[in-house]
Amino acid sequence: MIQIIALLYASENGLEGLRAFESTIIPILREHGGHLISASTNNARTPDDPDEIHVTDSFHEY
C-alpha cells in the first residue's frame, strides 16, 4: 500500500476551482485502485498554508 499526502493550494479560481479539480481527479484515482482517505480544511490558515490536505492510498502490486 502506498499513502500520499497532498497539500492543495487553490489557484486563481479559488475554492470553486479546487472543487472542480477534485471532482475530476477522484474518479481517476478510483479507476486506478486508489481512495481518498481524508480531506481536511484549515479554517485558521495563513497565506502560506495549503487550502486543503488530502490523504490518499493505493494498493498496487509491483
Q: Is the pLDDT of residue 61 over 70?
A: no
Taken in order 49, 41, 2, 20, is the CA torsion positive or negative?
A: negative
Task: Domain of residue 51: give its range.
Answer: 2-58
Residue 60's pLDDT band (boundaries 50, 70, 90)?
Answer: low
Strand ranges inside 1-62, DSSP E: 2-8, 34-41, 52-58
- The domain total for the chain is 1
Q: The cell 500520499 sits on which residue?
A: 4
Q: What is the pTM of this model?
A: 0.78
Please, which residues have CB within 8 angstroms of residue 56's CB and are 6 or more apart in sequence?
Answer: 3, 4, 6, 29, 34, 35, 36, 37
